[in-house]
Amino acid sequence: MRSFSFEEILGEILKEGLFWAALGRPSEVMPFLRGKLLNNGYSESTKRELADLLRELEIFYSRVACCGRIEERHMKALKSFQRDIIAVISFEKA
């Protein structure tokens, strides 16, 4: 049985958020992401950085909702959010 890394799981959750955004529900996964990322024992500075990224992500999802479809540029932006979130968390662990 294969286990999945945090990065892979985060990527799938972010994609699900993109899917919901395209369906007109841009905030569908945000409570889950906020709960998992902001209530995970990270330092206050890391939580602030993550909260900022999550606000930007929610704005991004709102823009996708206005578009009503997912484009290649949205997938690229999503990968950027994933990298940024992982970088903030990795810095915390270092």
Structure confidence by residue, pLDDT tens digits, 42-92: 999 999 999 999 999 999 999 999 999 999 999 999 999 999 999 999 987
Cβ proximity of 79 and 7 under 8 Å: no
* Closest residue by Cα to residue 48 from 2, 78, 92, 6: 92
Distance CA(67)–CA(2), nearest Å, equals: 36
What's the first-to-final CA gap in the chain, in angstroms? 29
Position 94 scores a pLDDT of 59
What is the Cα 52 distance to its own chain's centre?
Answer: 11
